[in-house]
Structure 1
Amino acid sequence: MKLVKAVIRPEKLYDVMKALEKDGFKGITVMDVVGRGKEGGIQVGDKSYDELAKTLIMIAVEDKQVGKVVEIITKYANTGMFGDGKVFVCQLDEVWTIRTKKKELGVA
């Protein structure tokens, strides 16, 4: 099982979430975050912005679903400009359901 984390533009969140939900990916965690990429922020006239508002989404999926989730995120979060974001895929060693106190099946 993998954890897909994507840092995207806040204005693209609705498009990404609707596309993921349409394909059956409903369990998504969303957080408002700030950060900057390798460009180190942006310069607008005399004003410098070192920390930019972004949205972090996280979704746990089976290994075979990673490609589809990454495809959806990169398609619907893309504006073609610097700062569109990044997608990170991490291995999940264990996943537990708090209510049942049971380990999820299918997790390596």
Structure 2
Amino acid sequence: MKEIMAIIRPKKVTKTKEVLDSLGFPAMNAIRVMGRGKQRAILNEISFEINEPELLDMEGSMRYIPKRMLALVVPEEDVSLVVEAIMKVNHTGQIGDGKVFVCPIEEALRVRTMENGDEAIS
């Protein structure tokens, strides 16, 4: 099993969820996150005004940029399919497209049924 964590643009979440669901991976966690890489501002990414001074630096660009982090655990044989789908949906060729991380998972347990391993994530 592997955990796939994807940091993506907020406006790409719905399409990403739809594609993953159509591929048979409906279960995920979506978390609002703030961060930054090389991207220094957002153009046409958010529909609200930024009034929090801690988010802006002296030049008026953003210190932290709102993103979404999707996290899902998949069987090892499905990692390539899921990663490729996330990459395809989120690729614009512009700075700020995001990052995808793949991490090993030692064990998974479903509390309700006491299932473990791949059965716990299916």
TM-score, normalized by the shorter chain, greater than 0.5 = yes
* 1:4-83 equivalences in 2 (<5 Å): 4-37=4-37, 39=38, 41-42=39-40, 46-83=59-96
Q: TM-score, normalised by structure 1?
A: 0.87
- List alignment gaps of at least 5 residues for structure 1: none
- RMSD in angstroms over aligned alpha carbons? 1.9
In structure 2, C-alpha distance between the alignment counterparts of 1:88 and 1:66, rounded to whole Å: 11
Post-superposition CA distance 1:10-62 (Å, at most 9, x none): 0000111101111111111111111011x2x5158x41211000000011101
SS where residue 20 of structure 1 aligns? helix
- List alignment gaps of at least 5 residues for structure 2: 43-58
Q: TM-score, normalised by structure 2?
A: 0.78
Give aligned-pair identity as a percent.
35
Structure having the larger proportion of residues in strand: 1
Question: Which segments of structure 1 move beyond 4 Å, counting only runs of 4 or more?
Answer: none
Question: CA 1:84–1:105 in structure 2 vs 1: closer, same or farther (change >3 Å)?
Answer: closer
In structure 2, C-alpha distance between the alignment counterparts of 1:15 and 1:106, rounded to whole Å: 27
Structure (1 or 2) with the larger CA radius of gyration:
2
Q: How many pairs align?
A: 104
